[in-house]
Structure 1
Amino acid sequence: MSLARFLVKRALQGVLVVWGVVTVVFGLRFISPGDPANVLLPPDVDPQVRQQVIAELGLNKPLHVQYFEFVAGIPVGDLGLSLVTRTPVTGRVLSKVPATLELAIAATVVAVVIAIPLGVVSATRRHEPADYGATLFSLLGISTPNFWLGVMLIIVLAVQLDLFPTSQRPIGLDGVFGLLVAGQVGNAVDGLLAWAWHITLPAVTLGTYFTALITRLTRSGMLDELGKTYVRAARAKGLPETLTRYRHALRNTLIPVITVVGLQLGTLIGGAVITEAVFAWPGLGTLIINSINARDWPVLQGSLIIVAVGFVLVNILVDTLYAYVNPQVAFD
């Protein structure tokens, strides 16, 4: 199968996945407790005014009519209007995507930079102190709740030691690029440093579990590859041990690692809710929590749809990378 046919096939599958997410999320709106009108209106409002507001919001229409109107607007980027602010949902959701992507990618970079070398060291020094230390780190990383870790990092590193800020996002990478385009190199460098300073604690918090997972996966994969015949043959030919480990064994270990990295990147995009809430990071997670509290279902639906689309795109990208990491993998 050619790359073009593979991409078309996966795109069609992705459309079905997104449609399923849209249907489930839309259905949850009607079985969840709480009425948006109760949030928008005081308890003692006149019943006629209440019915008028419900009619203006379109909440009195039959379920199937609301569903088809909502689905019909998605292909053209119309996700409806916020029940609270009466502003387009698409603009509100897309404005939060850069902050969430920055946090997810930063957490992934932290995890990969730490985990792969740690996993290689653990595998090549099996049953040594370095191996035991890496195993203990993985166990602690997987077992530690990220919300608790985030609070502890804030208390110790931000409050007591005053090494990092406690919250907020002073400037995004889009703002940094805008300064570079405008020729303000000095301000762009300062903005980039401020961004890195503020995102360090959230990225470490979000990426700790991911780091532990990749460490264990790299270790088990390296142990499996180092025991295979081609590694013994490479050593028998007199190849340097470093070349054998990193050029051959590690490369063959990267297939499952890439799979997990891709899947976890999509998970991080949708799973940063707690981390964003702890650090007041203005991304999709914060928007989702605020939408749930306000019963603002159009904004919540739009946020979850964007998360689903991001997850699908990441998975397609990961599957495409397989062929470049291992030519034996075909597009099927």
Structure 2
Amino acid sequence: MGYSRFLLKRASQGVVVIWGVVTVVFTLRYITPGSPVTFIAPLDASQALREEIAMEYGLNRPLYVQYIEYVVGLLPPNIDMGQSFAAGTSVSSQVFAALPRSLELAVAATLVAVALSIPLGVISATNRHEPTDYAATTFSLVGISTPNFWLGLMLTLLLAVQFDIFPTGGMARVNGTPLLLVDALRYLLSGRPQVMLRWLSHITLPAVTLGTYFTALVTRLTRSGMLDELGKQYITALRAKGTPETLVRFRHALKNTLVPIVTVLGLQLGTLIGGAVITERVFAWPGLGSLLIDAINARQWVILQGCLVVVGAGFVIVNTVVDAIYAYLNPEVTV
């Protein structure tokens, strides 16, 4: 199977999985106890008012009609997820406003993890049974064992409250508008570096908190992969030829170790996009996690449904991209 056919096959499978996610989420909406009308209508609403509300939001139509309309509405370029029952605003606008914030936090956490874990894993593997190896292994154990919410609170108390180095939470804002990286870069290029510094100060603690477990996981994975590669015959042959040790470690051993690491990076990135609920809550980060919790507390199933669909679709897309990178690094998987 060629590379193009492999990508087409993975993309087709991804579409089927996304359709399955939409179907499951839509079904859960109707098997969950309670009717949306109950949450919209006043406590003393009459039966006539309840029927009028159900008719207004299309809740009185057959289930298969609502399902078809919902699926068709999700198709590009419209991507209509319905209207919020309480506020009457578009669910799509709320979800897609929160998505870049969660994505930015997830990518920042991934970069923190990669920048720390791969060098630590290489150092640990090349200094086996030495103090540096034990230090890196201990760090991995502590990182995996530390709950994110506790780490976030401790970092806030120490670095934000005690020493006042970082803000306690929230996104950086300019004129009340949340500041994304692209906005910060634009201000930097226009001669306002203080805005970029403000963005960095706000994202550092959430990214470190979210990326710590990830760092520990990839460190252990890099170490085990490097140890396996360094014990193979081609490494012995390279050393016998007089190849510099730096090239042996980084150009050959680490390169062959990256294939499983890329897979884990992709899986974790997909998880971080929708799984940063606790971190976003601790740092008052207005992303998908916070929107999800607010929707649950307010029993806004339409918003909850939109969040779950976007998280599921994002996970599928990330994994499809990972499969493409994996096949590029290791063409044997396309055979």
Coarse TM-score class (shorter-chain normalised): over 0.9
Q: More deviation in 298-307 or 47-56?
A: 47-56
More divergent stretch after superposition (105-114 vs 161-170): 161-170
Number of residue equivalences: 327
Distance in 1 between the 2:184 and 2:52 partners?
A: 46
Give the Å deviation of 1:158: 0.9
In structure 2, C-alpha distance between the alignment counterparts of 1:192 and 1:178, rounded to whole Å: 9
Preserved contact between residue 34 and residue 295 of structure 1 (Cα < 8 Å): no
Shifted more, 35-44 versus 225-234: the winner is 35-44
Alignment-derived partner of residue 137 in structure 1: 139
Corresponding residue for residue 53 of structure 1: 53
State the alpha-carbon separation in 2 of the partners of residues 57 and 179 from structure 1: 43
Measured after TM superposition, the shift of residue 265 of structure 1 is: 0.6
User: Following TM superposition, by how much is the alpha carbon of 1:330 offset from its aligned partner in structure 2, in angstroms?
Assistant: 4.4
User: In 1, distance between residues paired with 2:185 and 2:304?
Assistant: 29
Deviation at 1:323, TM superposition (A): 4.0
> 1:51-200 residue pairs with structure 2 within 5 A?
51-76=51-76, 77-170=79-172, 171-179=179-187, 185-187=190-192, 189-200=193-204
The one-letter code matched in structure 2 to 1:66 is: Q
Contact 2:187 2:196 (8 Å CA) reproduced: no
Moved more, 135-144 or 109-118: 135-144
Matching residue of 2:223: 219
Match of 1:264 in 2: 268
Contact map agreement 1:251 1:325 (CA 8 A) in 2: no
Separation of aligned partners in 2, 1:61 and 1:274: 37
More deviation, 149-158/112-121 = 149-158
Change in 2 beyond 3 A, CA 1:23/1:323:
closer
User: How far apart, in 2, do the equivalents of 1:120 and 1:174 lie?
Assistant: 33
Moved more, 55-64 or 126-135: 55-64
State the match for 2:16 in structure 1: 16
Assess if the C-alpha contact under 8 Å between 1:273 and 1:286 holds in 2.
yes
Q: Secondary structure at the match of 1:238?
A: coil
Offset at 1:102?
A: 0.6
Which whole-Å CA distance do the structure 2 matches of 1:132 and 1:42 have between them?
62
Q: Distance in 1 between matches of 2:25 and 2:290?
A: 18
After superposition, give the CA deviation of every residue in 1:149-193 in whole Å (9 maximum; x if it has no partner). Answer: 11111111111111111111121123235546xxx6123x32222
Give the Cα separation in 1 of the matches to 2:36 and 2:169.
30
- Structure 2 equivalent of residue 321 of structure 1: 325
Alignment identity in percent?
A: 61
- 1:83-109: per-residue Cα shift (whole Å, max 9, x none)? 122122222211111111110000000
Distance 1:138 1:290 in 2: 33
User: 2-side partners of 1:35 and 1:154: how far apart?
Assistant: 40
Q: What displacement does 1:6 show?
A: 2.2
CA distance in 1, matches of 2:273, 2:21: 16
> How far apart, CA to CA, are the structure 2 residues paired with 1:186 and 1:39?
50
* CA gap 1:291/1:267 in 2 versus in 1, 3 angstroms: same
- Contact 1:259-1:318 within 8 A present in 2 as well: yes
Shift of 1:34: 4.1
1:228 corresponds to which residue? Answer: 232
Which ranges of structure 2 fall in alignment gaps of 5 or more residues? 173-178
User: Could you give the per-residue CA deviations for residues 219-261 of structure 1, whole angstroms, max 9, x where no partner exists?
Assistant: 0000100100001111111111111111111111001000100
For the Cα contact (< 8 Å) 1:322–1:329, is it kept in 2?
A: no
Distance 1:4 1:152, change over 3 A: same
Secondary structure at the aligned position of 2:265 is classed as: helix
Q: Distance in 2 between matches of 1:26 and 1:270?
A: 18
Report the Cα distance in structure 1 between the residues aligned to 2:235 and 2:19, rounded to whole angstroms: 46
* Secondary structure of 1:5 counterpart: helix
Aligned to 1:302: 306
Q: How far apart, in 2, do the equivalents of 1:246 and 1:230 lie?
A: 14
Task: Report deviation, 1:60.
Answer: 2.6
Equivalent residue number for residue 175 of structure 2: none
Q: Is the 8 A contact 2:144 2:216 kept in 1?
A: yes
